Amino acid sequence: MKKVYKARVLFTKEKDQFEVFENGYIAVENGKVTGVSTNLSELDCQNAEIIDFGDKLLIPAMNDMHVHAPQVHNQGVAMDLELLPWLQNYTFPEESKYADVEYAERMYRRFLHTQWLFGTMRSVVFGTVHTESTRVLMKLYQEAGMGALVGKVAMNRNCPDALCEDVKAAVEGNERLIAEFSDVDGLVRPIITPRFVPSCTPELLKACGELAKKYQ
């Protein structure tokens, strides 16, 4: 069913320009914005449900183009450290806990709630090396109606044994997620995310590249 939201609308028709419609209307159908106008008759909204927010401001949702979901527990912790010591002493021990799917679900729910509180509705997200926990993260995004490109992290060196997986396991885990979440029209889709060069051998990076080409 089509819905129309009436409010003061902050509209970004072009990326470098904001417009404010003091008495604006946003038409939404099947979860997608179909029109924005100050004139209701322009939106072809006969029989639509009209939801009036009065003088409240409606703005575009925020987008986070690089975020590590399992780091929610470490927000603001040891920010005086360089990256590698921070990873070894804080991040990797925390990410190792995500082998426990119940723990992963609990923390990922907290992460999504934090995003929702700040109006972040679209994200590019790193999970962990754990396939099943990454699957849980993607399902939670689907349940919340929040859009995300989600990657199962790949790494096989300079990390704890609990987070180190061989190339074959990394490829197989990613392919499982690709098979399940391959709907091109879906809000939640899988991506290939080797962590970074220090934690990935050339063989792993090559395998990730070949995987990306295979499913592009």
pLDDT digits (tens, 9 = 90+) for 24-77: 999 998 878 888 999 888 888 778 899 999 999 998 889 999 999 999 888 888
Q: How far apart are CA 7 and CA 51, in angstroms?
A: 9
Q: According to the model, what pLDDT value does residue 182 have?
A: 84
Rounded to 5 degrees, what are φ and ψ at 64?
Answer: -110, 115
Give the pLDDT band of residue 1 (cuts 50, 70, 90): confident
User: Is residue 172's pLDDT more than 90?
Assistant: yes
User: Is residue 82's pLDDT more than 80?
Assistant: yes
Residues 6+ apart with CB under 8 A from 17: none
Q: Tell me, what amino acid is at 139?
A: K
- Mean pLDDT for the chain overall: 92
Instruction: List the end-to-end C-alpha distance of the chain, in Å, as a whole number.
Output: 33
> Which residue carries 């987008």 as its tokens?
63
Strands (E), the chain: 3-14, 17-29, 32-37, 49-58, 62-68, 120-126, 147-154, 188-194
Q: Which domains does the chain have, with CATH numbers?
A: 3-58 (2.30.40.10), 62-215 (3.20.20.140)
Give the pLDDT band of residue 124 (cuts 50, 70, 90): very high
Q: According to the model, what pLDDT value does residue 14 have?
A: 82
CA angle 117, 142, 169 (to 5 degrees): 115
Q: How far apart are CA 19 and CA 83, in angstroms?
A: 40
User: Is residue 123's pLDDT more than 90?
Assistant: yes
The mean per-residue pLDDT over the stretch 108-121 comes to 95
Rounded to 5 degrees, what are φ and ψ at 30?
Answer: 55, 40
What are 138-150's pLDDT values in tens digits? Answer: 999 999 999 999 9
Q: According to the model, what pLDDT value does residue 184 have?
A: 65
Q: According to the model, what pLDDT value does residue 185 have?
A: 66
